Amino acid sequence: MRAQCGSWRSPAVCGRSSTLLYSFEDFSLDTARRELRRGGALIALQPQVFDLLEYAIRNRERVVSKDDLLAAVWNGRIVSESTLSTRINAARSAIGDSGEEQRLIRTAHGKGIRFAGVVREGEETVRKLAAIFAADVAGYSRLMGQDEIGTLRRLTACRAILDERIAAHRGRIFGSAGDSVVADFASAVDAVQCAVAVQEALAGEEQMRFRIGVHVGDVIVQGDNLFGDGVNIAARLEVLAEPVESASRGSCATRSATSCPMPSRIWESRASRISHGPCASMQLAPVASGHCLRLRPQQRPASPPPYRPRLGCQSSYCPLPICRMIQTRNTSQMESPTI
């Protein structure tokens, strides 16, 4: 335990099941960053003083004895009464309390101390930047309606290939329901190369055709799951992709276009941002804005097809914003057409 947590960290402190943020009066105690703040201002604390204060707050429903503090803060080592009193007084001073007032840390003579303040607990919001990979099967409901057993058998075989490719590209699956798979990658390049590898591996599958969306964005970490707009945009990009295609957006598309080993053709189209009209409620504006990269592991005709929005809406209020479309070809040296 000491090797992992340090000589002054206790088993009780190291064994917390979750990261908490304790708030009382105008103070906040962040157990992840090991910080005490008052009104946003950082208050310097010695490690043992922080552990003593945290232990008293976590066990505020009871009086904590000297033996409890020695076990929690000093790992059971014997320390003098003066050392213990010094740490308690330092904790009081840090939160604007004193031995005379005892507003927050009260002494039960002969028993120990108890934290008497009103405390609000909250799970700390942990965020990270991740490349989100979202995949599903085009026409899955129709396939299940036609042949449930056969479709499930083919999906199981395809999922084994998809899961293996995700693991090989250092990805982690954190969501799966029916035909859908959602994974996160530390690298946008890894995510897009995984999408290409999946489509190439499943190119021979005639009925089970996957479409994949990749997006780099800020996500909220909650246990093993991820939440946030970054996940939602990846799912919407997946909808924009044609079967056996992969779509990515923004900086992810820019980096992927230069690092993807597949030859590609690039052209741009310009239109205004979706801001109103029937499609506004579909929340497609964050998806279609910026640059969009589309990869398809099949040969394309010599000339690009004319641009047509494929958002499923024919309203004049629903044009496709600035998009950068990349489609794979055997020839990589081609000029971008003028739109």
What tens-digit pLDDT sequence spans the chain (339 residues)?
Answer: 333 343 334 434 443 434 578 999 999 999 888 999 998 899 999 999 999 999 999 999 999 999 999 999 999 898 999 999 999 999 999 999 999 999 999 999 989 999 999 999 876 677 899 999 999 999 999 999 999 999 999 999 999 999 999 999 999 999 998 899 999 999 999 998 999 899 899 988 888 899 998 999 999 887 788 988 889 998 888 887 777 555 655 444 444 445 555 433 333 333 323 233 332 222 222 333 334 444 444 444 445 555 554 544 443 333 333 333 333 333 334 344 443
In the chain, where the domains are located: 2-123, 126-328
What is the pTM (predicted TM-score) of this model?
Answer: 0.49
Please name the fold of domain 2-123: Arc Repressor Mutant, subunit A (1.10.10)
Identify the pLDDT of residue 332. Answer: 39
Closest CA to 334 of 265, 232, 251: 265
CA 61 to chain CA mean position, Å? 35
Centroid of chain to Cα 320? 28
Concatenated DSSP letters for 58-127?
A: HTTTSPBPHHHHHHHHSTT----HHHHHHHHHHHHHHTT--TTT-SSEEEETTTEEEE-S--EEEE--EE
User: Quick one: pLDDT at residue 225?
Assistant: 87
Q: Nearest-5° angle of CA 149, CA 155, CA 160?
A: 135
In one-letter notation, the amino acid at residue 142 is R
Helix (H, G, I), strand (E, B) or coil at 152: helix
Three-state secondary-structure class, residue 226: strand
Alpha helices (runs of H) in the chain, residue ranges in sequence order:
2-5, 11-14, 47-58, 66-73, 81-94, 140-146, 148-168, 188-201, 229-240, 250-259, 285-288
Count of Cβ atoms closer than 10 Å to residue 221 Cβ: 17
How far apart, in whole angstroms, are the C-alpha atoms of residue 78 and residue 32? 28
Contact 287, 233 (CB under 8 A): yes
Cα–Cα distance for residue pair 200/212, rounded to 1 Å: 12
Q: How far is Cα 191 from Cα 134, in angstroms, rounded to an integer?
A: 10
Residue with tokens 């057993």: 149
Local structure of 16: helix, strand or coil: coil
Residues 126-328: name the CATH superfamily.
Nucleotide cyclase, GGDEF domain (3.30.70.1230)
Q: Which helix (DSSP H) or strand (DSSP E) does residue 137 occupy?
A: strand 126-137
**Pairing verdict, β 105-108 and 41-43:** unpaired
Q: How high is the pLDDT of residue 131?
A: 94
**Which residue, 267, 149, 148, 154, is CA-closest to 208?**
154
Q: What is the pLDDT of residue 274?
A: 29
Q: Provide the 10 A C-beta neighbour count for residue 222.
A: 12
- Residue 267's identity, in one-letter code, is W
